[in-house]
Structure 1
């Protein structure tokens, strides 16, 4: 289970004021058309629970049993990055005045089904209710099964924001992602992307080949990338490197 995110959400619960919304606020989602490959749910931060869910059968669950724990049960190789991006977005939503901001966070990753298998999903989340301090109190998420699409094996994300500089927020997320990696891993990253052998890197930095191989494995594990091309794409997208400095 994804304990880091769940503990984070418990802390957030104390920082957001509850919103007393009307039954119609929830019921109107019954009329929103979704595909049979999609699940829609509303998460209440102040109550720390999903207060509405429809078509959780996409993941093998009944709507009544689907919980935030299930919605956060990411694949082991994806959870570090998904955790980082998700927490960055949530922190922004509860720390800033969101009254004039219409935003949407999109993530692709692998999510665990009830039967224990994993499915590739697209998660699209937007702010729904604000509390009396204009902080995000609830959000709406649509999960789409995109396993039919041949997607790369690493986490992808994008952030769309109206009435604010999206680049500023994306830089905040990229900064948090950069903190996943150690300084030495970031120093060696360009060499790995260029395909330099561990022996040559070890000789250049006066460290052992075993140490270089360990850093290489750690970077692949944290990024979820399996090959040099994926690592290049991942590093460029998350602003870990400047492409022009590589070649």
Structure 2
């Protein structure tokens, strides 16, 4: 419980100024948020920071991690985080509280934050997991109800320390790759709007041919956008671009 209590102390500082609940059904949540998380197999949870309870766990957790819906609770996550990644987990949760505390109230529901870590699964092997958090409701007495999306990034062979990004939604600016920084600096967007659209389709696994058909554009136009994405990102291949896009929060 010491690990949970440490998080409770962090979450106790979640902003209290907002008490408007996003009244969304589970179907609404899926429709509004899940289309931006398809880098790999995933499951999602509804989490309450006040009670530290997973109020809902998607059944796909058993396929990805081996744990049943009932087994997968906060304590399981904390006990099975790679020891080298646990300090980052605490630091990034603390950074998230500090970030949201500095936002204007009208921006509270326009941000998600994301970071990755290694998590031991039921068979005692490790998977690289990206955890993305979207606030759904701020309790008047403090704390929040959140949507958490856990995505398996193991197949991308991401190395190095966990990294943190705050990603704006609905037109809000983003703060990418801010791990271990004391201040949050606005990130410049190196891609055009169309390039970002193409990048998101690439992240979902679509080929240039499928993207061209979906956007009603020529295959040559799409291929040119792909070349520009690689050039601007400094990547030599699409797999490298996908890894960097996830770590930098571009998608």
Matches within 5 A, 1:76-225: 76-93=83-100, 98-101=105-108, 102-132=110-140, 137-161=144-168, 170=178, 174-175=181-182
* Partner residue, 1:233: none
Q: Cα offset for 1:26?
A: 4.6
Cα distance in 1 between the residues matched to 2:166 and 2:13: 23
Distance change in 2, residues 1:29/1:168 (3 Å)? closer
Q: 1:56 aligns with which of 61, 78, 81?
A: 61
Aligned to 1:88, the other structure's residue is in SS state helix
Do residues 74 (structure 1) and 81 (structure 2) align? Answer: yes
C-alpha contact 2:121 2:127 (8 A) present in aligned 1: yes
Q: What stretches of structure 1 of length at least 5 have no aligned partner? A: 177-236, 238-247
Query: After TM superposition, what 4+ stretches of structure 1 lie above 6 angstroms from structure 2?
Result: 19-24, 33-36
Aligned to 1:39, the other structure's residue is in SS state strand
Cα distance in 2 between the residues matched to 1:103 and 1:23: 17
Q: What is the aligned length?
A: 174
Which structure has the larger Rg over C-alpha atoms? 1
* Partner residue, 1:9: 7
Aligned to 2:181, the other structure's residue is in SS state helix
C-alpha contact 1:70 1:112 (8 A) present in aligned 2: no
Distance change in 2, residues 1:24/1:123 (3 Å)? closer
Do residues 65 (structure 1) and 71 (structure 2) align? Answer: yes
Cα distance in 2 between the residues matched to 1:25 and 1:46: 21
C-alpha contact 1:104 1:161 (8 A) present in aligned 2: yes
* Partner residue, 2:219: none
1:136-172, Cα deviation, whole Å (9 max, x unpaired) = 511111111111112123212222236877559948x
Aligned to 1:9, the other structure's residue is in SS state helix
Distance change in 2, residues 1:131/1:111 (3 Å)? same
CA RMSD of aligned residues (A): 4.0
* TM-score, normalised by the number of residues in structure 1: 0.55
| The 10-residue stretch of structure 1 (89-98 or 122-131) with the greater mean CA deviation from structure 2 | 89-98
Cα distance in 1 between the residues matched to 2:136 and 2:97: 13
| The 10-residue stretch of structure 1 (86-95 or 50-59) with the greater mean CA deviation from structure 2 | 86-95
Do residues 44 (structure 1) and 58 (structure 2) align? Answer: no
